[in-house]
Amino acid sequence: MNLRMFSAAAFAAAVLSASVFSCDALAARARLVFTGDIMAHQTQLDAARIGTTGEYDFSYQFAHVKRFLKGDAVVGNYETTASGEDRRYTGYPQFNTPDVLADNVKDAGFTVLTLANNHMHDRGSYGAARTVAVLSERGFGLAGLPINQPLVVDAGGVRVGIINAAYGSNGPLPKGEGSIGMNLITRGFLMESAEQLRRLGADCIVACLHWGDEYDLKPGAAQKREAAWAFEAGVDIVIGTHPHVLQPVEFTEDGRVVFWSLGNFASGQRTLPRERTAVAAVEVESSGDGRCRVEAAWALPAAVVKVPLSGRGAATRFVVVPEGAESEMAPAEGRRAAEVNAEVVRFLDLSEERDAFGFRAVKHRLIGEASPERKPAAEGRKASSGKRAQQRKAAGAAK
């Protein structure tokens, strides 16, 4: 794959037809599964390196959660780049990860990846374009890049349209015709995207929004405003990423749902509350005429657990351990995972009711009713003030 002369415009033209998967079903029901940020910090790179072979394997991160990633569509936020070995593999602040991570993510069960996030242009337009190409070659449905490209997937007979946009980028975004760009959150973009997806036959619309203040445990004013725009546009489900911590789950009066933030999924950040995460599952039913109803929302508590590697000095692995898999760990790590998962249940106020996959029912709270506690000082840095410069300075201390 020679990407030295790679053209984003040519790529967009080549894959556009692959971005809409047809479905002729009438009424149908689907299970949609979502995770938070899939990242690759330096500690993860070090743990994935296989001796001196130059090869990597990230599959260990997903070994205990893989069996839970089952749905008609499984969606994750790919918050790193595949810019190539010649660009040097690094973690924060300019992510570049071996292509094999995409293979490991595919093997874990993901079918759709969202790319509109503040790290996608860490290695410039070349890195973003190569990332899109690498992921496309592996058959993922992609949203967020190239700019303004629609995505409709067949999820068990339900045509699901996915909107993905971010608050901004750490690196400069290319401009002009033919640029790979990146979708940004605006009211106009959400309105136009939802309308376009409806024209393409989407029954259900999901907005995956990379937004909010890092390390804040509840949604801020901008998130609330942008969620209102999404629901105004006719979005059925809103999935939030970027804060690196969990935020509440709430519903509109007509039954649509917003997971304000799913936190980290695969990452090298682990002190509370950053090691708390959850896998979301939303069951939707389509009547086959462009209308969709959220039937149920579920969440699987999970912990990002630090696992020491014997014989490898200070190297450690960061493993996603969901509720129900704690016994698969060594005693100390299993106890830690159980403690964190219990915190997730408490924080999200999840029900004892479970579905066939072991996910807990999300209690029906209207937007504005959930009131999570503020993060205690002992749990880490103070909540973000909302200023991007302060946010990144704080993030750098942990990443």
DSSP state of 255: S
Specify if 1 maps to a domain: no
SS3 content of the chain, % helix, strand, coil (to 5): 30, 30, 45
Specify if 338 maps to a domain: yes
Cα dihedral sign for 111, 115, 117, 121?
positive
pLDDT digits over 24-77, tens only? Answer: 446 899 999 999 999 999 999 999 998 888 899 999 999 999 999 999 999 999
CATH of the domain at 383: 3.60.21.10
Domain housing 229: 8-398
Q: Say how far apart CA 158 and CA 151 lie, in whole Å.
A: 13
Specify if 394 maps to a domain: yes
Per-residue pLDDT, 189: 98
Q: Say how far apart CA 274 and CA 306 lie, in whole Å.
A: 12
- Transcribe 69-107 into DSSP letters: --SSEEEEEE-S----GGG--B-TTS-B--THHHHHHHH
Specify if 337 maps to a domain: yes
pLDDT digits over 242-292, tens only? Answer: 999 999 999 999 999 999 999 999 998 867 799 999 999 999 999 877 789
The model's pTM? 0.87
Q: Say how far apart CA 135 and CA 38 lie, in whole Å.
A: 14
Specify if 221 maps to a domain: yes
Specify if 198 maps to a domain: yes
The structural domain count of the chain equals 1
Q: Say how far apart CA 209 and CA 240 lie, in whole Å.
A: 5
Q: How far is CA 147 from CA 64, 182, 232, 308, in A?
A: 35, 5, 22, 41
Specify if 2 maps to a domain: no
Specify if 175 maps to a domain: yes
Per-residue pLDDT, 200: 96
Pair 369, 250: CB distance under 8 Å: yes
Pair 387, 399: CB distance under 8 Å: no
pLDDT digits over 317-331, tens only? Answer: 899 999 999 999 999
Largest CA distance in the chain: 59
